[in-house]
Amino acid sequence: MKKTIAVLVASLTLGACATMESKPKDFDTLVKEAEAAINKAGKVGYEWRDSRKILKAAKKAHAAGQEAKAMKLATKALHQGQLAYQQYLDNRDAKPWQY
């Protein structure tokens, strides 16, 4: 029984690792994806206020050689763009409701 559980846990762990990205994205790719996500949200009127400011700060940090900070900010901008579009999808069919 213990061997079966150990094999099951090992196979699930290895399966989860196989689906993870083996190589992190480079900064330029991340910026392009973030810009595309923000633009997509903007086209439907759901662009969040600070997304472009965060992306601008990421570019500034990258130019200053602060790679870790730049990657963190660019990732945050990407997530904000994706979440803004998801917010649009969640709210597009919303109707008023009565109490």
pLDDT in tens, 16-25: 555 455 456 8
pLDDT at 31: 97
CA atoms within 13 A on the CB side of 1: 0
pLDDT in tens, 17-73: 554 554 568 999 999 999 999 999 999 999 999 999 999 999 999 999 999 999 999
pLDDT at 1: 57
State the alpha helices, DSSP H only, in the chain.
2-19, 27-43, 51-63, 67-91
Give the domain ranges of the chain.
38-91
pTM of the model: 0.72
Closest CA to 38 of 76, 74, 84: 84
